Structure 1
Amino acid sequence: MQIPIVACVLLYANLALGAPGTLMRRQRAAERLAERKLSRSSNILQPAENEVAVASTGNDTAHPEYSSNWAGAVLIGSGYKTVTGSIVVPTPKTPSGGSSSQQYSASGWVGIDGDTCATAILQTGIDFTVRGSSVSYDAWYEWYPDYAYDFSGITIKAGDTITMTVTASSKSAGTAVIENETTGQRVSHSFSGETDALCETNAEWIVEDFSSGGSLVNFADFGTVQFTGASVNGGTGVSGATIIDIQQNGKVLTDCSTSGSSTVVCEYTG
């Protein structure tokens, strides 16, 4: 049972009986939770507008697709039930030309559907956010088109190894699991009876410029995100995947590729 957002905020405030700093941290956590439930969401792949030809960067991997919000690799097929991959958590930075007073974010996740199948996405991942010298991370789960929800009970810092797994037990049910291999923490969420059905035809390893309040957030310089141990249904890796890069306002911001059968690498180039 979900607690109403207002009640959740009051609960955090009432529990804050310790030092003022504890009260402030709990209030901020409640505010972030309320804001996320109202507005944070991933989106299906959005083709880039006004796509322009891009000169080769020396990367041998073909780039048949550009998107305004997704970068990474997508397998297109059928019967995709489980998708997994691990990343080392990056330290996001304010992009060149950005303002230290503004907030910039990116998200690394694994998922099922959302490219050629637009009805739903089962996904889980990590958000990376920077404002000035302050960096924060959130672990979340989502059954799109519903909003994303934060996991509790897991801490994340730069350099941690995070394994993300989604499993579809049917086209309307499944699980999302995040494990912090560095700390040993593990969190999960189960979905059931979802009205927006999966197709089980796309498997993804994605760095996303996600949405808040209906618009793309300011995209962070995430450095490099490398998905390792990328697998589908416990075996099939990323061989043959479509590579996608983010292109906004005629500028390509990422350079993604696959390496071997189980690694996807995305570099911020904006």
Structure 2
Amino acid sequence: MKFLSKVLLFCALANSATLAIPKSKQFTSSNFLLESRAQHQTRDVKNLTSYIWNGGEVAGPRFASVTAEVIIPNITFPYGYNASARYGASVWVGIGGDQNTCDDPARINNGGLIQGGYYYLYDPEGDFGVFAFYEWFPDGPVFLDDTEGIETSIGDHVRMTVTQKDNVTEWIVESFMTTKDHETLFPDFGELHFTEIKAISAANEEVSLQEHGIIVEAEPVLGNGKYLTDCEITGSDATKCKWLGYKGIFES
């Protein structure tokens, strides 16, 4: 198992210095638009619709840490691989990222969300693979293969952990396909399973997903009924997301 818990050691550095991102990875930062990153619409108590987030979250007590494990699934290109296109998604855990449920929405714009996980990144500039990262939004991602020599690949069993004090935690598959960016395509990962999810409160208590978990699914054009994934909480510490596709997602 590979551990991305080293993220904890670096989060404090993210706001104190500007770390270089290789040119071929810089496009990821431009896609973290606040309007598409944090806005959700409530469908019911246990479900939220997002522009680009897929997975789950818990809101309630003040949290101190969140952990989840993933076996990185293979990806495919269901509509045919386009060598001139970009394909991208990120899988991560985070604390403090949902302005609709966190206790201080203004912090999202000022060092609120801390996240750590990995990117799928396939682009014409030469990056092709899986890359571990951490990020302290609104700063861009720091890629750990570049800064720490941490390599990740398809089939790896990874554990992702982030610590911060806030009242919302997330475990997310993030798409970069928005109404303003149709070009960064969402690769087909089949099914992705978050397991061993642990949202630990500041009082050192573990929160039950079955009692308090909220499913989040991406509908890039809110209200048109076309979702990128189908996610469900599958146990007290697990969430499954199934890729549904993006063809025609922006058509009315």
TM-score if structure 1 supplies the norm length? 0.65
Q: How does 1:90-105 map to 2 (within 5 A)?
A: 90-96=73-79, 99-105=82-88
- Give the equivalent residue in structure 2 for 1:231: 198
1:87 aligns with 2:62: no
Larger radius of gyration: 1
- Give the equivalent residue in structure 2 for 1:125: 117
For residue 229 of structure 1, report the CA deviation from its aligned partner: 0.3
Residue 92 of structure 1: SS of its match in structure 2?
A: coil
Q: What amino acid maps onto 1:47 in structure 2?
A: H
Residues 1:244 and 1:154: Cα distance change in structure 2 (over 3 Å)? same
What root-mean-square deviation, in Å, do the aligned CA atoms of Structure 1 and Structure 2 show?
3.3
Q: What amino acid maps onto 2:136 in structure 1?
A: W
- Aligned pairs, how many? 205
- Give the equivalent residue in structure 2 for 1:190: none
In structure 2, what is the Cα distance between the partners aligned to 1:113 and 1:4?
22
2:215 aligns with one of 240, 243, 247: 243
Residue 40 of structure 2: SS of its match in structure 1?
A: coil
1:221 aligns with 2:188: yes
For residue 64 of structure 1, report the CA deviation from its aligned partner: 2.7
Q: How does 1:162-241 map to 2 (within 5 A)?
A: 162-168=158-164, 171=165, 200-210=166-176, 215=181, 217-233=184-200, 235-239=206-210, 240-241=212-213
Q: What amino acid maps onto 1:262 in structure 2?
A: D
Cα deviation digits, residues 166-191 of structure 1 (max 9, x gap): 012xx5xxxxxxxxxxxxxxxxxxxx
Q: What amino acid maps onto 1:148 in structure 2?
A: P
> 5+ residue gaps in structure 1?
6-28, 54-60, 172-199
For residue 80 of structure 1, report the CA deviation from its aligned partner: 0.6
Residue 209 of structure 2: SS of its match in structure 1?
A: coil
For residue 37 of structure 1, report the CA deviation from its aligned partner: 8.4
- Give the equivalent residue in structure 2 for 1:254: 229
Retained in 2: the 8 A contact 1:37–1:149?
A: no
For residue 96 of structure 1, report the CA deviation from its aligned partner: 3.1
Retained in 1: the 8 A contact 2:65–2:162?
A: yes
- Give the equivalent residue in structure 2 for 1:267: 242
- Give the equivalent residue in structure 1 for 2:150: 154
For residue 100 of structure 1, report the CA deviation from its aligned partner: 4.6
For residue 263 of structure 1, report the CA deviation from its aligned partner: 0.4
- Give the equivalent residue in structure 2 for 1:145: 138
Cα deviation digits, residues 106-155 of structure 1 (max 9, x gap): 111001121122422111011112459x8411111111122111113111
For residue 161 of structure 1, report the CA deviation from its aligned partner: 0.4
In structure 2, what is the Cα distance between the partners aligned to 1:65 and 1:97?
31
Residues 1:203 and 1:3: Cα distance change in structure 2 (over 3 Å)? closer
In structure 1, what is the Cα distance between the partners aligned to 2:79 and 2:24?
27
In structure 1, what is the Cα distance between the partners aligned to 2:217 and 2:177?
17
TM-score if structure 2 supplies the norm length? 0.69
In structure 2, what is the Cα distance between the partners aligned to 1:4 and 1:80?
28
Cα deviation digits, residues 163-221 of structure 1 (max 9, x gap): 000012xx5xxxxxxxxxxxxxxxxxxxxxxxxxxxx1111111101489x84732222
What is the identity percentage for the equivalent residue pairs of Structure 1 and Structure 2?
A: 30
In structure 2, what is the Cα distance between the partners aligned to 1:211 and 1:149?
21
In structure 2, what is the Cα distance between the partners aligned to 1:226 and 1:37?
23
Residue 158 of structure 1: SS of its match in structure 2?
A: coil
1:109 aligns with 2:76: no
> 5+ residue gaps in structure 2?
1-15, 246-252
1:66 aligns with one of 13, 32, 49: 49
